Structure 1
């Protein structure tokens, strides 16, 4: 197997793009090579199987979705005193940042569907998402913002599905502004 880490990352990024545009059925080594702009056969030199490529895409997609460390540090450094209002503003900003990442979310939906049928993808995606959720709970506890670990899980579930709903069936929530929904959820959870 080829070992160039930059090329491997570029191929995984191309796989994410193919998943978003063509779905899991369209994810072939040839399609990945074409999207990455590399010679035919390159992806098959880097990944032993399609499942291996899918598993690495399941890990990589969250790197693409997560803000860089400098952005996180700046947000924490400039955060005002913890309050329900600060929590609402941060959740609303997170929603808008993530909702703008349509390629990543479409690819993530495809990966979730593949996880039903492919244990390797399920294991990779479960470990990655579970690790992110654990990190988010720890960060929330350290922040002093209102809500416990259960609140963080509720925010994760609500924001994830709000993004999916608006991405896949935007008319379903006509008349329901996302910012107001997030504010109402924050009020409910912070009032616990």
Structure 2
């Protein structure tokens, strides 16, 4: 099978999940979004579970590519650099990462109802953030403990659905209407001046 077409179909499945949710994910919807002849998706991914798995695998690939780029870039060396990194990740949620993150949320919901290999595919994304974000906090010279690092990661994860739904009252109440301030307040709360490990 054509690997380029396969990737096109997997990308289309992500777009369908982001646009129409899990209920809207059909072979026909993926065919239409990918602009391929009817039946193409079914030839590559014969069942709905196969389409879901393909979308999950593609989301993981995109996540690994993003983290690979971050790993290849100079890491934060101070609190200001860490603030910039975390702010850019939050801004990505409402920007280029929006479709992938909406799809991931749909896939996570699907996995709670019908646990299968998808949860094993998706789990490395969440667990990878805990490791990567802790390393970034250490590199920035903060007095890191595993608990403090986990609190920061959980707060950033909790911000994602609010940024995706973009409710103005919720964004204002949480401080997410200003991602830079949100990150600064988060770091100041977890790592107040004078904090030691």
Q: Same fold (TM over 0.5)?
A: yes
Deviation of residue 110 (structure 1)?
1.2
**Match of residue 62 from structure 2:** 64
Asked if the contact 1:16–1:104 (Cα under 8 Å) also holds between the matched residues in 2, the reply is: yes
Match of 2:122 among 125, 148, 154: 125
- For 1:67 and 1:43, the matched residues in 2 are separated by 26
Note closer, same or farther for the CA distance 1:166–1:142 as it changes in structure 2 (3 Å cut).
closer
Q: Does 1:166 align with 2:193?
A: no
Query: How many residues are paired up?
Result: 185
Cα contact 2:78–2:141 (8 A) shared by 1: yes
Quote how far apart the aligned CAs of 1:9 are.
Answer: 1.4
TM-score (norm 1): 0.81
Encode CA deviations 1:43-96: one digit per residue, 9 max, x unaligned: 1111242112212212322433453745642333xx5xx222322222112211
Distance 2:18 2:53 in 1: 15
Unaligned runs of 5+ in 2: none
CA RMSD of aligned residues (A): 2.6
Any unmatched runs of 5+ in structure 1? none
1:106 maps onto 2:107 in alignment: no
Matches of 1:69 and 1:94, distance apart in 2: 14
Q: Give the Cα separation in 2 of the matches to 1:158 and 1:27.
A: 30
Instruction: Provide, for residues 4-41 of structure 1, a one-character-per-residue CA deviation record: whole Å limited to 9, x for no partner.
Output: 32222111110000001111111001111111111111
For the residues of structure 2 that align with 1:148 and 1:70, how far apart are their CA atoms?
Answer: 26
Tell me the SS of whatever aligns to 1:39. Answer: coil
| CA gap 1:142/1:178 in 2 versus in 1, 3 angstroms | closer
2:37 counterpart (36, 39, 47): 39
Alignment match, 2:89: 94
Paired residues of 2:78 and 2:139 also in contact (CA < 8 A):
no
Give SS of 1:174's match. Answer: helix
